[in-house]
Chains A and B, each alone.
Chain A
Amino acid sequence: MSQNLLEVNDLVKHFALPHPLLEKARGKKAANVHAVDGVSLSIAKNETLGLVGESGSGKTTLGRTILMLEKPTSGKIIFQDRTLTDLDDEEIRQLRKKMQIVFQNPYSSLDPRARVKDIVAEPLRAFKDISSDVAEEAVIRATAAVNLSPDSLSRFPHEFSGGQRQRIAIARALILEPEFIVLDEPTSALDSSVQAQILNLLRNLQEEMGLSYLLITHNVNVVKYMANRIAVMYAGKLVEVGNTRDVLEKPLHPYTSALISSIPQPDPRRRLKTVAAIGEVPSMVNLPTGCRFNPRCPYAEGICRQQEPSLREILPGHLSACHFSEKFQ
């Protein structure tokens, strides 16, 4: 399967909670937050995979772990046929040139005391052996690619609006000419009129530079517009993966259906009628037994409380982790 740029196999990331003294005295084990709990996915060249889920579902941790910004607890990450999880730090550092990330909040992800040109050039400097002439040229190219005017280069982040700042952050991610970018809620902090500009920019850049994206967002409409395929995450696991159209129009997992049916549409003639999922995202420390969605699922039966469903292919290219997916076809 070498046509995939990135492959993730059974990735697990647990965070240990601080061990309360009293619990320790009682001989109990420290609890873990199961942020990412056995996720497998792949991203092809030039593809956008949209990762949707509610807050606390582990989608940001998944993105960070794929880039090895968090050390995985177990599992495999294969990028360009190299297994990241087997490489040493220096090799990973070199590979980072090809993998970048854009964060949600452009107000906190840019150093307020650095000028735009230095912010954008920072990744270059991390890989030294680059002359200042070459660096300057690269900065000009990267900022031009995101439609920032050349006179903005010597200004500071506070002089820019949210949309402009996100352009700066994207330019910084582009300067090393990466092949894969994790976009972690890239437009959630932006106004809707500006969001459209940034989404279009990201799509144009992808076409021009052959980029692959992992787009992490809670906004299903953004994913619909951006992604070739969608992965739906719930409580640390993927519950459904498939082509954007298939997943949004014929969801095979009850959670995906609930999620889609609660998205408000900007159309007063299509108001939400029923309120689908009752309850809340489960605690990531004490997960429900069996299927993690069963306490909120309107179709849950005995088996759902006992056996955890695995993510399996129901229709070609359309995977779902529900015991009854065939029923929802």
Chain B
Amino acid sequence: MQNLLEIRDLSVKYKSAVKEIKALDNVNLSTDKAQIVAIVGESGSGKSTLGLSIINLLQKPPAVVDSGEILFNGNDLLKMKEKEMADIRGTGISMIFQEPMSSLDPVYTVADQIAEAIHVRETRTPTRSYGPFSRTNPELKRGTDGGLSRIIGIQLPKSRKEFAYSGEMVDVLKRVQIADPERVLNKYPHELSGGIAQRVMIANALVEKPAVLIADEPTSALDVTTQAQVLKLMQDLRDEIGSSILLITHDLAVAAQIADRVAVMYAGELVELADVTEIFEEPLHPYTEGLLNSLPRQYRDEEKLQGIPGDVPDLRAPPSGCKFHPRCKYAFDKCPLERPELITVKNNHKVACFLRHQE
């Protein structure tokens, strides 16, 4: 059976005149319809680079795709022209980011931005490649009455598009638990709190009904009470629309909450991939094990945390062989010499560790 999204042997590096950083090293990952895959890793593990590669928003240069393919419905995204890719963004593959404030356009109201998303879905003609200045289609000019009407205090007639979509816009904001949608619709992003802004981003994703949603640390900037609500919304998106979600996070607890499968990344490599209960109950890679042990769960008077000694490696000069070997308590003579492959060791559980391959 063909997977909805399949990443094969993807290698990406960031290159400058003086240095080169291997951000992704031969990553293989696939996801099915209506599946939530969490990509877990620490800073520098390459998880955000992976997300940006899929939606083809890597800044090139400095990024260079060395090798690999990203198949979406069987077509290689990396070979597509920008125009074809733009057709896929939004309804095919959509992305939400950690900082909702910086991913909403500051000069348009919430209504403008949701109306655009609905319009894109309805017409599926690209209005812009990326960024606010490449808009070309004059028919899709967004309404600007939100701001003006508030300055002069008179409600101007809404733009045609906003009028047509206003019902759906209110509905979708209610869906994401915004209490007073009419008021929020007329606001500019800077007037929203972080939690509301992230909900608007998710509302955008909801109306676009993407086949794949990439969520890059969607809750890291939010408070826990808001985080719980946003995670619930992402689950709804999967349950109701059947979107498959790639959840990029540094927080294992967030992954445990909503993921079906978990991919653990370390220094640009995928080191372990398994179903969510497997990975939390029987982690096979020493790094995953260490990561789980470094999460505080106990009280002060109980036993001390284990943690992982050392630091995340400097990717300008990564360790040889298995990149985790300098921090690994099980490392043996083979580890610094050879790189372990990601191999299935048991029921759908893949791990890149010589220790487990020998068993």
- Residues on A lying within 8 angstroms of B by beta carbon are 48, 54-55, 161-164, 191-197, 199-200, 203, 218, 220-222, 224-228, 244-245, 258-259, 262-269, 271-272, 275-281
Contact = CB atoms under 8 A, between A and B. Distances in A.
A275 B258 CA distance: 14
B191 to A, nearest CB: 12
Given A191-B42, A200-B307, A265 B256 contact: yes
Contacts of B294: 192-193, 195-196
Contact of A192 (B250, B257, B309): B250
A258 B225 contact: yes
Contacts of A162: 43
A220 B295 CA distance: 12
Nearest to B258: A271
B330 interface: no
B307 A197 contact: yes
Given A200-B304, A275-B232, A280-B226, A224 B256 contact: no
A-B pairs, top 4 by smallest CB distance, nearest first, are A196-B307, A225-B296, A196-B294, A191-B42
Contacts, number: 139
Given A222-B296, A268-B257, A278-B229, 4 more contacts: A194-B311, A224-B296, A262-B224, A266-B255
B224 A196 contact: no
B296 A199 contact: yes
Contacts of A276: 225, 228
Contact of B227 (A225, A245, A262, A268): A262
B195 A262 contact: no
A244 B301 CA distance: 10
Contacts of A218: 223-224
Contacts of B194: 55
Between A54, A196, A197, A224, the greatest number of chain B beta carbons within 10 A of the residue's beta carbon is seen for A196
Contacts of A227: 300
B297 A244 contact: no
Contacts of A197: 307, 309
A199 B312 contact: no
B276 interface: yes
A264 B312 contact: no
A27 to B, nearest CB: 22
A169 to B, nearest CB: 16
Interface in B268-306: 276-277, 280, 290-300, 304-306
B227 A266 contact: no
A280 B223 CA distance: 10
Contacts of A220: 224
B299 A224 contact: yes
14 contacts: A192-B250, A193-B294, A218-B224, A220-B224, A221-B297, A224-B296, A265-B253, A266-B255, A266-B297, A268-B277, A272-B257, A280-B195, A280-B196, A281-B193
Interface residues on B, range: 35 or more
Contacts of B295: 192, 196, 221, 266
A278 B227 contact: no
A266 B288 CA distance: 12
Contacts of B4: none
Contacts of B251: 192, 264
B300 A228 contact: yes
B29 interface: no
B307 A191 contact: no
B208 to A, nearest CB: 24
A260 to B, nearest CB: 9
Between B223, B225, B276, B312, the greatest number of chain A beta carbons within 10 A of the residue's beta carbon is seen for B225
Nearest to B311: A161
Contacts of A224: 296-300
A241 B259 CA distance: 35
A225 B196 CA distance: 31
Contacts of B304: 200, 203
A192 B291 contact: yes
A221 B296 contact: yes
B291 A193 contact: yes
Nearest to A220: B224
B177 interface: yes
Contacts of A191: 42-43, 250, 312
B223 A272 contact: no
Contacts of A199: 296, 305
Interface in B230-261: 231-232, 250-259
Nearest to B287: A193
B52 interface: no
A244 B250 CA distance: 26
A194 B311 CA distance: 7
B312 to A, nearest CB: 6
Contact of B225 (A244, A259, A266): A259
Given A192-B294, A269-B277, A280-B195, A245 B225 contact: no
Contacts of A268: 256-257, 259, 276-277, 280
Interface in B83-137: none
Given A225-B299, A244-B300, A271 B225 contact: no
A258 to B, nearest CB: 6
A164 B254 contact: no
B308 interface: yes
B13 to A, nearest CB: 21
A264 B227 contact: yes
A281 B223 contact: yes
A193 B312 contact: yes
Contacts of B229: 275, 278
B179 interface: yes
Contacts of B312: 161, 191, 193-194
A299 to B, nearest CB: 16
Contact of A262 (B179, B225, B255, B276): B225
Contacts of A195: 294, 296, 307
A106 to B, nearest CB: 13
B260 to A, nearest CB: 9
Interface string B169-181: 0000000010100
Contact of A196 (B231, B280, B296): B296
Contacts of B297: 221, 224-225, 265-266
B113 to A, nearest CB: 20
